Structures are given as structure tokens and as C-alpha cells.
Structure 1
Amino acid sequence: MRAGRGRGCVLVALAVAALAVQAVPATARAAPAGSEVVTWGASADRLGEGVPDRAYRLVVHTSVGGSDLRVRLSNAFGDRPVTFDSVYAGVQEAGAGLVRGSNRQLVFGGARSVTVPAGATVTSDPLPGRVAAGTNLVVSVHSPDAAGPATGHGMSMQTSYVSQGDHTTEDSPANWGGTIGSWFYLDAVTVRASPGTGAVVALGDSITDGWQSSTDLNRRWPDYLARRLRQSTTTTVKGVANEGISGNKVLADGAGQSALHRLDRDVLSHPGVCTVFLFEGVNDIKAHTGVTAQDMIAGYREVVRRAHAAGKRVVGATVGPFKGWSEWDPEAEAVRQEVNAFIRDSGVFDAVTDFDRALRSPYDHERILPFFDGGDHLHPNDKGMQAMADAVDLKSLDCSAPANP
């Protein structure tokens, strides 16, 4: 049985379908129809020092499918310009290997090379063709001059690859021997989807980032949510951007900039976003820095105010149980309970998802249900992540639903 050859043919067919080149002269193309919408995102942070002549092969998972793929490269935390002289996008076959024929060059203003100023981002030109929803997309980037603070996303729960020298054009994994668990320089991917398609951005901490979910299997709760949205016929929201950072807080910088400080860049700047899903606060509460429920409420109100000013809906999620975690104590629990009462009952949010209720044990509401516990009494496992996504009312994310004034 020649299984290997059959599988290869299938993968090539999928690659052609996913990233098909349109053999039409640029001057003859009609204006693109549809809505540009984010299909993948990851919050930017500082990631050590940049290395010159290094290439990264970054594996990301699309949520919504569409045409005219674009990638956004970030130098948000750099202190000097960084040049990218080769950027490609393809479809993963296995590991660092790509489906043959799927790897294609991205350009910026028609040029293959682009220099991103310190503190800035740059978005590629649209890549003709289609990319399917639920695709393991591989974006390969090379910088000849990277130095100083590098920008990226630290905890990806996804294996990506690194090489010294420019091997971005290659389908083969042969020169990509190094593995990494972070995404360097890439912070968003967008596509042009059917008209009216929208996206939701999950703004959160390590639970949203996916800690304790299975690496390389896309089992973070936003991934499960994306799969539900893809199958739904009741909402036009199909894109999901995961803007969680492990250790992140609403009010204070530390593990990444605070939710308040990164809201514009990590959430409101993405195209097609109609809903902000705010699930954050446990790191503020358990830090024992004197943060009160009223402090948290003021922070939530500020996020909602700014999102509403940008025309976005805001869904608030209650803070989950964490009794058994080393920093839990009755005082922190009292703050959590007061914060959750505000989220549920204040009417400030356009809708509420009760993650506390979805995750807690029926025998002790201060603890996560053991079946959902990733082992540290704070972070859910894969089953807990799925239960969280299942708790979301998909209609509450819809762009057509009215926002609170």
C-alpha cells in the first residue's frame, strides 16, 4: 500500500486550494469584495535580543478562511529599525516541512524587503489566492540585521523553527533544525472574507494564552471557540484573535504591558473586529499588591469605555476559581467574588460569559472542578478549555447585536 504517495497528493491538492495563485494580470483584476478580518493574532512583548542573519519558521493556526492573506510584522519593543529581506507564507506538512508548492513570497509596497522602525508595525501587501480556515499556516521571515530588543510572543504552545541564514524559500525542513516555543516578530494575519464577516479578540492572561493546554494541538479556549464559530450558522463572527499574555494584568505592566496599555495595539488595531472578549483579572487579584475590587472595576470600565468609543461590543467574563494555588487566600477570594458580582450584574458589559460557573466545583465554588484542573488549581486542562468555549453564547459576539451606550 503506497500510503505515503497518496497522502502527498492530497496535501498538494489542499495546498493548491488553500493558497492558489490567481493567473490574472493585476490590471485586469476587479476590486476585491468582502471584508478584511483578522484570522490569527498574538500579543507583542519583548523577547530577548535580536540575532542577525537568523530566520524563523513560525507555525500559526487560522480561524477564518479567505483570500488576499496579509501578515503584520512588529518591532513594537525594538529600540532600532529591523529589516526583513525575505518573508514567505506556506502550509505546514509536518514539523518544519511545507506542502510542496504552497510556499510563496510576501511583499511590502511591491518590494521583497521592508525596514520596520523602532516601535512600529508593518503589514504586507495582499497575497492573491485563498487560505482555508483551520489551516496550519507557516510564515517564514529572515532578518539580516536584527539586533537589540526583539519583539514577539513568548508562550505560543506551538512548536516553530529557526535557522541561521536565509532558508525561507525552502519547502524542506532540512535546514530548520532549531525549535522554539515563541513567535518572533509576527503578530497578526488577516484575510479577506465574505462580506459582513467579523472577528472577536480575546484579551486575557495565561488561561487565554493556553497554558496547560496541549502543545501543537490548538486546544486553547479561543481555538475551541473558533471551531464552534466555524460550524455555526447563527453568527457572522468567524475570526478569532488570541491576545492573551501569560501573567498579564489589567492594571499594571509586568508580564507584558497591562490590558489598558496594550488595548489599542493588540485589540482595536485589528481589522474586522466587532467584539472584545475581556477575561482578565486573576493576576491583579492574587498578586497581594493592595488591588481592590473597586480598582478592578475602574479598569474594566475603562476598557469598556474605550472599546465602545471605537464602536466595539464588549463581552465580560467572570474570573475563574483558583483556591489551591499558592497565592490564594480568603482576602483575594473576597475581591474575586466582588469583581464577579460586578461583571454579572452591573450592566456595563454588552454580554457576560460566566467562566467561574463553567469551571468551578459544585462541592466548593472556590475551587476549579478537578476534571478541568490542569494540575495547578488555576489553569484549565484541555477539557476545561473546551468547557469555557462551550459556555460562550455565540450570538453575544455578533456584530449586529447592539452595544450598550
Structure 2
Amino acid sequence: MRLTFAPVLLPLVAFVAMPAWGAPCRGQWTVAWASAQMAPNGDNALAPGTLTDSSLRQVVRPSIAGNRLRVRLSNQTGTAPLHLKGASIARALRAGSAAIDAKTVIPLRFDGRSEVTIPAGADYLSDPIGLPVRAFDDLAITIAFAEEPSGQTSHPGSRATSWLLRGDHLGDPAMAGAQAVDHWFSLAALEVERCKAAQLIVALGDSITDGRGSTTNGNDRWTDRLAQRLQADPATRHLVIVNQGIGGNRLLNDGLGPNALARLDRDVLAQPGVRYLILLEGINDIGTLTRETPVSDVEHARLVSRIIGAYRQIVMRARAKGIKVIGGTILPFGGNDYYHPDARNEADRQAVNRWIREPGNFDDVVDFDRAMRDPARPDRLLPRYDVGDALHPSPEGYRAMAEAIPLDLFN
């Protein structure tokens, strides 16, 4: 289905020149929503050819208001340029549905054109459009692929449903018959422009930040809960948090996605408006050390030393950009059947957490371990915070994580 967009363009041109509240201002851009990009593998990847001549609708939720916006598309893991026939944005009728308000459909332009070719390994920003958004509005971004990417660029752990249908459906209000896909593809960020400057918090982490165990289409990760707290208080409504978690991520080695040190520049330091970094990484490094076979005490000590070294690197590089770095203590994972941690793994976790808590190593600390552990068995999650695998929090656990973060850290 092809929709002719020309009738809506002229009013929008006039609207773009003026902020939503009518007074001219010198706008400042900040990220309002983002996802860390990677190459999907296994069941997370679409079958070859799936995206050829197809439209993909993806629903995202900004965590701060703005008067104009632009979309950042990605060909990060592609090995050749990616040609897109077009893209559009509209207000979604609800999360978990492909339905949009057809009256709100706006075509995205790239250097004034509807089509765009994104170089290999690159991101590409759309031209700004005048669409005032509030915090937590559901927005549907539809991408019309002309061809199969040379390498799919994705965020597998979307915890949100996307919709895929053959043909051009940029303005289709329902996308009837579309295939549901619980991943994001080629969609890196939504940026908003505001008259009053925003300050960005980036959450860098693994599946616990990505939201494994949260409700699909429920927006109840710990970062979502923190965003709600920030927007509920007039004193903190200038703060926005974006989630750059990747399931399986590690500090030291690639796993499901590049290691944290390798992706620090793109996922944190390059984000417009970033002022704070919450770092919660290391549980997968500790768990994978002995998942296949035990190792010596020397190897345990070496791992702890390397984790601390990685923390130091991240802190130094972020501070050099004027970013305040907040360390999150590693949650307990005793009883997990995948990593089957023993007393030595727990000793490694305790050693790392001691270093995180020591004054001066981070600019501030959020003690997720203390908030989430079972007082009777401190090497394990509190049962009501455990989704059932002794590793990932439940939605109630994610709420507790968000509530453990003092808002006065961000001042």
C-alpha cells in the first residue's frame, strides 16, 4: 500500500519553523529513546531475504518531551550501503499493536529526499520534523526496505513487538496480516529538540538493563521505571534516560554484542546531551569464567583485576567528556542453572562490589546488590524480585531497582 504524502507537507513546512509553544528559541537536541545496535544471531536474526521490498513498523517511547524530532537509522553491522525506499513516523494507537493514527502520519526526509542510502557501518539522521511529543508517547516508525541488508543491524532484546509486511506500507493505518517480530532492526535512536536543555542519562549494561524478565510491550524495565520517577518530579523533568543494555553483554569479551569497552564511544560518549552514565556490567564476565569448567584461584584473581581495570577505563574516558559515572553493584545470582555459580564466583562478585563501593572509584554508586538480595541468603535474589531463573529480576524487581536510585545523584 502506497500513500501519497504531498498534501501534508506544506503545513508542516510552516510548523517546523516555530516551536510548539509559539516562542522562538535556540533548540538543543538530545536523545529521547535509543537502543544499542548489534548483529543478531540464531533465532534473533530474520531469514535471509525477509526484509527485501518489505516494511517494518517499530514502536518506541521517548522518555522526555520535545517540540521537534528526528530519527536515527543504522547500518552499523552492514558491510555494504543499505538503500531504503523511505520511512515515516506516526502516533501509535497503543503499544503491542501495528495500528496508527492515520491523520498523524508524517514522511521522514533525508537531505530533503524520501529515499536514503546509509553507508556501511554508519548511522543516518532524518531531517527534523515538527511533531511535538510528550514523555511516554508511543510513536510508530515505519521503514520501507528496498533490499536485504548486507548484514542485519538489530537490537534483539526489544521487549516490544514490531510488525513486518511485504510491500510499501509507510502510511498503512493497520498493516493487516503483518508478521509480529519481537526485535528492533536498523533503528538506533529518536532525538528531540527542546528550547530548554535536557541532560541525558545513559544506562550501559547487560540483560538486566536490557530488561530480560520485564513485560513485552509493558515498558517496565528499571530504566522505564526510573524515567517515570524523573518525569513525575518537576525538578527532574529536564532529565532523560536511554537504555543501552544488551543481553549477554560483557565488559571484557564479545558475546551477544560487542564488549562494553568496544561500544562505549558509540553507545555512550557520542550520544547528544549525555551528562551521566549508570554502569551495570560484569555479571556475565563472572559467570562465564567457570560455566564450562572450574579454573584456578589465579584465574579468578585475574578476572577480578581485569573487571576493575575495565571499570577504570570507562570512568577515565567518560570523565574526560565531562560525564559523571555512577557504578551499579552486581546483583546476586546464586542458584542460577546456566552459570551454576559456586563460592568462588560469589567471592569474585563480592570483591568487585567492594571496589565499586570504595569512595573515589566511581563518582557515585547505586547499590543494586543491597536493594535486591535476600537478607537470609545474600548470594541470591529476594524471591519476589526473581523472575524465576535466579539471575534476572521480575517486573517487581525492576521497580525496586529504579527506586534504589537516589534522584539527587543527578545534580
- Both proteins in one fold, TM over 0.5: yes
Is the 2:71–2:191 contact (alpha carbons within 8 Å) kept by the matching residues of 1?
yes
Residue of structure 1 in register with 2:320 after alignment? 309
CA RMSD of aligned residues (A): 1.8
Q: 1:348 aligns with which of 361, 364, 367?
A: 361
Is the 2:161–2:216 contact (alpha carbons within 8 Å) kept by the matching residues of 1?
yes
Q: 2 CA distance for matches of 1:28 and 1:283? A: 48
Residue of structure 2 in register with 1:191 after alignment? 192
The structural deviation recorded for 1:168 is 1.2
More strand by share: 1
With over 3 angstroms needed to count, the CA separation of the structure-2 counterparts of 1:212 and 1:28, relative to structure 1, is closer
SS at match of 1:138: strand
Is the 2:385–2:395 contact (alpha carbons within 8 Å) kept by the matching residues of 1?
yes
The structural deviation recorded for 1:381 is 0.3
Residue of structure 2 in register with 1:15 after alignment? none
Amino acid at match of 1:347: G
Q: 1:1-400, aligned counterparts within 5 Å?
A: 24=14, 32-47=25-40, 48=45, 49=48, 51-94=51-94, 95-174=97-176, 176-235=177-236, 237-288=238-289, 290=299, 292-326=303-337, 327=339, 328-398=341-411
Q: 1 CA distance for matches of 2:220 and 2:366? A: 19
Structure 1 unpaired stretches of 5+: 1-20, 399-405
The structural deviation recorded for 1:397 is 2.5
Q: Per-residue displacement from partner, 1:138-185 (whole Å, max 9, x unpaired)?
A: 1000111223211010111111100111101212232x5200010010
The structural deviation recorded for 1:367 is 0.7
Q: Per-residue displacement from partner, 1:22-47 (whole Å, max 9, x unpaired)?
A: 56276788865342111101000113
Amino acid at match of 1:233: P
After TM superposition, the structure 1 stretch with the greater mean CA deviation from structure 2, 30-39 or 145-154, is 30-39
With over 3 angstroms needed to count, the CA separation of the structure-2 counterparts of 1:203 and 1:64, relative to structure 1, is same
SS at match of 2:361: coil
Q: 2 CA distance for matches of 1:28 and 1:317? A: 41
With over 3 angstroms needed to count, the CA separation of the structure-2 counterparts of 1:169 and 1:253, relative to structure 1, is same
The structural deviation recorded for 1:86 is 1.1
What TM-score do you get using the length of structure 1 for normalisation? 0.89
SS at match of 1:274: strand
Q: 2 CA distance for matches of 1:236 and 1:135? A: 15
With over 3 angstroms needed to count, the CA separation of the structure-2 counterparts of 1:363 and 1:196, relative to structure 1, is same
The structural deviation recorded for 1:240 is 1.4
The structural deviation recorded for 1:102 is 1.4
SS at match of 2:277: strand
SS at match of 2:93: strand
With over 3 angstroms needed to count, the CA separation of the structure-2 counterparts of 1:282 and 1:302, relative to structure 1, is same
Q: 2 CA distance for matches of 1:108 and 1:374? A: 43
After TM superposition, the structure 1 stretch with the greater mean CA deviation from structure 2, 237-246 or 316-325, is 237-246
Is the 1:83–1:145 contact (alpha carbons within 8 Å) kept by the matching residues of 2?
yes
What TM-score do you get using the length of structure 2 for normalisation? 0.88
After TM superposition, the structure 1 stretch with the greater mean CA deviation from structure 2, 230-239 or 163-172, is 230-239
Amino acid at match of 1:39: A
Is the 1:235–1:395 contact (alpha carbons within 8 Å) kept by the matching residues of 2?
no
Amino acid at match of 2:30: V
The structural deviation recorded for 1:196 is 2.6
Q: Per-residue displacement from partner, 1:255-299 (whole Å, max 9, x unpaired)?
A: 100110001111111111111110111000111164521111000
Q: 1 CA distance for matches of 2:31 and 2:179? A: 29
The structural deviation recorded for 1:235 is 2.9
Q: 2 CA distance for matches of 1:281 and 1:113? A: 41
Is the 1:78–1:151 contact (alpha carbons within 8 Å) kept by the matching residues of 2?
yes
Q: 2 CA distance for matches of 1:396 and 1:116? A: 38
Is the 1:88–1:140 contact (alpha carbons within 8 Å) kept by the matching residues of 2?
yes
SS at match of 1:55: strand
Q: 1 CA distance for matches of 2:363 and 2:327? A: 8
Amino acid at match of 1:118: A
Q: 2 CA distance for matches of 1:28 and 1:225? A: 31
Q: 2 CA distance for matches of 1:316 and 1:34? A: 31
Q: 2 CA distance for matches of 1:26 and 1:222? A: 31
